[in-house]
Homo-oligomer: A and B are copies of this chain.
């Protein structure tokens, strides 16, 4: 191993890393498709079991991939995944180390809880501010639901979801997102990940048989991973300034495409009206399905929200969303709004997979939505996140004059392109990492090679950071 580092009370070190080395060796001999998972599992177990202690610095992805004889992307993916799960903490350039959170989970007894979330250390995108979770209202809703639910409501759930929640979600999405959502089209599920698994399982088993699913490039690595895990192939289709290119989509021979039209992840663009029409034309001509992941469509700051693509043709678009950004990812509650022909088959897969969603959680969310608490929560988050976005944009503009910031109209992250004089990106990220600020470059989300010159292009998540933390973190970034 070539990794080096020092251990200190509050930083990464290398103690104990070599003890876990042997666990990772079988990875190279696994079949190619299974290597990524095996590496992730082995690393996770090594952290969980304490074989790699908290604070231990892991080798760089370049070093580990060379040592194991596997691709560097595999190692990067494993590090990213385990970082997202809280086992690892990473700051590009400063390397990756075992987080304190992971140790706390391993050692936790029945009354302990995980240590503070590692994302807070930087601008990694994807998390809302969990301190905004409406505990009092949520608790009150639980009490009401338990007081009112008849005994028989505690039996096996309808695999489509509780009628009350399907109706509440349908009304919510119709009103807020322009979705065509009669309750009969709504399936309650655990979130976008399960929605994709359900849809892919149905696609896999229906005529004309397995096919290719197009994903955005740049795009969410989760889309690719979920589709692949369901046994379907993916094709990365490039974006232009208006959205996914319909010509490239047609050329890919895809039968379905996963899109984020309201606020593309990560680029932040909203799909143009013309592009929406073109993509629907493709779906009608090719008998294709568009899957609309409306992951942060509730947050729009400077003008009215862009309506959901689904509203244009509900028989060609499967719409999915969740409460992960508006309430908390830990609730595992989301929805699918489906073309009529897909409702029964998707419900059947949901039934087989887990016999339907927990009823009390469903009744609780239905109560929460119908009483107006959900709208109140969205307004509260919207105010907080708009302020954070404004602070971030102002701080970046001041510290890096000439920076181009896009994707600011919506969502929980922006894209910042710094003038060339602040690059190269590699050095910038390394210095930020040493200063303790985790950053994710836009290049992480694309299969295409980074442009020449190495300019700094960042995906900056801000929603989880109070304004003071944003100011502090930007000031720690390299000049």
A interface with B by C-beta (< 8 Å)? 34, 37, 40-42, 44-45, 48-49, 84-86, 101, 105-106, 108-117, 127, 130-131, 133, 135, 138-139, 142-143, 146-159, 163-164, 167-168, 171, 184, 189-191, 193-194, 197, 205, 225-226, 229-230, 328-333, 343-345, 347-349, 352-361, 366, 370
Cross-chain contact A353 with B154 (CB below 8 angstroms): no
**Distance, CA A292 to CA B355, complexed state (A):** 19
What residues of chain B lie closer than 8 Å to A344, measured between beta carbons?
41-42, 44-45
- Chain B residues lying within 8 Å of A171, measured Cβ to Cβ, are 110
Known: A85-B158, A153-B330. 7 other contacts (CB 8 A): A34-B205, A44-B344, A108-B163, A142-B143, A197-B354, A226-B352, A360-B361
10 contacts between A and B (CB under 8 A): A110-B171, A110-B370, A114-B152, A117-B152, A138-B146, A142-B142, A193-B353, A194-B353, A197-B353, A332-B356
Give A226 to B351 CA distance when docked, in angstroms: 10
Chain B residues within an 8 Å CB radius of A135: 146-147
Docked complex Cα distance between A397 and B252 (Å):
71
Interface-centre pick from A106, A111, A205, A354 (highest chain B CB count, 10 A): A354
Query: B191, A355: Cβ atoms under 8 Å?
Result: yes
Q: Given the known A-B contacts A117-B152, A117-B155, are A332 and B348 also in contact in the complex, defined by CB atoms under 8 Å?
A: no
The listed residue (B114, B150, B163, B354) touching A190 by CB distance below 8 A is B354
State whether A164 touches B361 (Cβ < 8 A): no
- Contact, CB under 8 Å: A358 / B152: no
Closest to A356 in B: B332
Q: Across the interface, which residues of B come within 8 angstroms of A356, CB to CB? A: 332
The docked-state distance in angstroms from the alpha carbon of A357 to that of B193 is 12
Docked pose: A359 CA to B114 CA in angstroms: 12
Question: In the complex, what residues of B have CB within 8 A of residue A190's CB?
Answer: 354-355, 358
B355 touches A332 (CB 8 A): yes
Complex Cα–Cα for A404 and B131 (A)? 61
The 5 lowest CB-CB distance pairs between A and B, nearest first, are A330-B359, A41-B344, A108-B163, A154-B328, A117-B152
Known: A37-B348, A109-B167, A184-B48. A193 touches B354 (CB 8 A): yes
A138 vs B171: C-alpha distance in the bound complex, in angstroms? 30
Query: Looking at the complex, which one of B37, B330, B343 makes contact with A155 (CB distance below 8 Å)?
Result: B330
Chain B residue at minimal CB-CB distance from A230: B352
User: Provided the pairs A155-B329, A164-B108, A184-B49 are in contact, do residues A139 and B130 lie with their beta carbons within 8 angstroms?
Assistant: no
Which residue on chain B has the smallest CB distance to residue A108? B163
- Least CB distance from A89 to B in Å reads 13
Where chain A touches its partner, the secondary structure class is helix
Bound together, the chains give a CA A148 to CA B344 distance in angstroms of 40
- By beta carbon, the residue of chain B nearest A163 is B108
| CA gap between A117 and B156 in the complex, in Å | 10
* Chain B residues positioned under 8 Å from A357 (CB to CB): 332
User: How long is the Cα–Cα vector from A116 to B358 in the complex, in angstroms?
Assistant: 19
User: How distant is A27 from chain B, measured CB to nearest CB, in Å?
Assistant: 12
| Chain B residues near A85 (CB-CB < 8 A) | 156, 158-159
Q: Report A213 CB to chain B, min CB distance, Å.
A: 15
Closest to A104 in B: B163
Q: Are A152 and B115 in contact (CB under 8 A)?
A: yes
Which chain B residues border A105 with CB–CB below 8 Å? 158, 163
Is there contact, CB below 8 Å, between B110 and A150? no
Please give, as numbers and ranges, the residues of chain B lying within 8 Å of A354 by CB-CB distance.
189-191, 193-194, 197, 332, 354
Chain B residue contacts of A111, Cβ below 8 A: 164, 370
CB of A125 to closest CB in B, whole Å: 14
Contact, CB under 8 Å: B353 / A330:
no
Name A130's contact: one of B42, B84, B152 (CB within 8 Å). B152
What is the distance, in angstroms, from A371's C-beta to the closest C-beta of chain B? 10
Q: Which residues of B contact A328 (CB under 8 A)?
A: 154-155, 359
Instruction: Assess whether B117 is in contact with A163, with CB atoms less than 8 Å apart.
Output: no
Most buried by B among A48, A147, A226: A48
Report Cα–Cα, A156/B40, bound state, in Å: 17
Cα(A360)–Cα(B365), bound, Å: 13
The answer, among B143, B151, B152, B226, for a CB contact under 8 Å with A139, is B143
| A93 shortest CB reach to chain B, Å | 25
Which residues in B have their C-beta under 8 angstroms from that of A117? 151-152, 155
- A59, B141: Cα distance in complex, Å: 43
Partner of A113, one of B42, B109, B153: B153
